Amino acid sequence: MTAAVLTVSQVNSYVKQSLDGDRKLQNIFVNGEISNFKGNYSSGHWYFTLKDNRSAISAVMFSNNNARVRFKPQDGMKVIVSGRVSLYEVTGQYQFYVDSMQPDGKGGIALAYEQLRDKLQAQGLFDAKHKIPLPTLPKRIGVVSSASGSVIQDIKNVVGRRCPLSEIILYPSAVQGEGAAEQLSAGVRYFNSTGSADVIIIARGGGSMEDLFCFNDENLVWAIYDSHIPIISAVGHETDFTLCDFAADQRAPTPSAAAELAVPDREELLAAIKAIEKRMENRAAQCMYREYQDIDRLKDIITAKNPERQIEHQMLWLELYSTRINAAVENRLTAEFEQTNTLAAQINALSPIRLLQKGYSVTTKRGKCITSAKTLKEGDKVTVRFSDGSVQCKVIKEAN
């Protein structure tokens, strides 16, 4: 009997039908390590190899299935997958078609959280240098949270008690489930685009890690990072941390605690204002005291520099100097007068007139005094001066 000749397509089709018809190869779970992981950016499908220490099998996970996987598969990661074994007829490749995937050991949500946290931290979204300080006294507080439930009411109660002048503006949003992350992001962007809030509180009253997973959304974290309005994250309870907590400018364990962070306490504020008023009063009193001291010093200076006082003072000195000058002049005149009398007496004693009065005379010839008879000759005319007048004489020589 001659064997039938089959085509390659017939062989591959037969093998595929055999594999697809084997119930033991349908809806099975396989444990293995991922290697050669590749994601097709156009189709969104994942291609990889599952292996253990002895064997390997090619695997594919189509985009409609991998969209439900919260973490990103990586080479070396151990996973548990479910699906079926079949054949890709075009290439004749035997492979595992994956319907679901979860990490072997750690839960998928926890792994996805850690992966995204590490990624965003490496990009600097959690750096302290990007944090914005909260305003001291916000007029408007934007709240992104559910419109129902106790969260918004708790925030209103705390703000109303601590700072009733602050206005609360609610942007209602789902806080869990499908579409929640998009609504939360829209709320943050709304307040930033409208400028209708001085501070934003994004809040939820706790829950399981699954319930809080929308607060770990990458787009929401970026919206918080890009916000120019300071944001307080109040998601979960004391021990629960979401990626929103890391990206926000402040983190509060509860919505009520977030409200306390957002606004100052009225009583504390009033006490602080009173303390400031007291310091201002004391400061003003000190300044007034110093000013009065300066005024008193200026009064003393003005009194000392008063022109009338200066004139009086100068008049006293002028009178003193005048008295001293008069006394000095009088003394000087007396001394001069006495000296003049003494000189006059001396001059008078030496005066030629006094000699003439004693009987002496003075003979002159042509205005020159004759001191020797030898200078005269017979017939010279001379003038003889006496004490009471003068006479003209003619010289007559006596015979020897």
pLDDT at 61 (0 to 100): 92
- pLDDT tens readout for residues 239-284: 668 899 999 999 998 999 999 999 988 888 788 888 898 899 898 8
Q: Which CATH architecture has domain 132-264?
A: 3-Layer(aba) Sandwich (3.40)
Mean pLDDT, residues 49-57: 88
Contact call for residues 65 and 98 (beta carbons, < 8 A): yes
CATH homologous superfamily for the domain 8-105: Nucleic acid-binding proteins (2.40.50.140)
- Is the pLDDT assigned to residue 145 strictly greater than 70? yes
| Least confident segment among 151-160, 161-170, 201-210 | 201-210
pLDDT at 170 (0 to 100): 95
pLDDT at 135 (0 to 100): 93
DSSP, res 126: T
Give the span between the Cα atoms of 340 and 346, in whole angstroms. 10
Q: Which two tokens stand for residue 195?
A: 């400028």
pLDDT at 39 (0 to 100): 85
Any idea what the Cα angle at residue 130 is, between residues 125 and 133, rounded to 5°? 135
Mean pLDDT, residues 25-40: 87
pLDDT at 400 (0 to 100): 57
Give the span between the Cα atoms of 165 and 257, in whole angstroms. 18
Q: Which two tokens stand for residue 47?
A: 């291609």
Return the exposure string of 135-167: e unless at least 16 CB atoms fall within 10 Å of the residue's CB, then b.
beebebbbbbbbeeeebbebbeebbeebbeebe
Mean pLDDT, residues 328-348: 83
pTM, whole model, 2 decimals? 0.54
DSSP, res 68: T
Helix (H, G, I), strand (E, B) or coil at 89: coil
DSSP, res 332: H
Q: Of the candidates 237, 174, 179, which has an alpha carbon nearest to the alpha carbon of residue 208?
A: 237
Q: Tell the burial category of 372 from Cβ atoms under 10 Å away from its Cβ (0-12, 13-18, 19+).
A: exposed
- Is the pLDDT assigned to residue 1 strictly greater than 60? no
Q: Max CA-CA distance within the chain?
A: 227
Percentage of residues of the chain with pLDDT beyond 70: 94
Task: Residue 221: count other Cβ atoms within 10 Å of its Cβ.
Answer: 25
pLDDT at 107 (0 to 100): 61
Average pLDDT, the chain: 86
Instruction: Please report the DSSP string for 197-265 in residue order.
Output: -SEEEEEE----TTTTGGGG-HHHHHHHHH-SS-EEEEES-TT---HHHHHSSEE-SSHHHHHHHHS--
More confident residue, 211 or 26: 26
DSSP, res 41: T
pLDDT band for position 183 (cuts 50, 70, 90)? very high
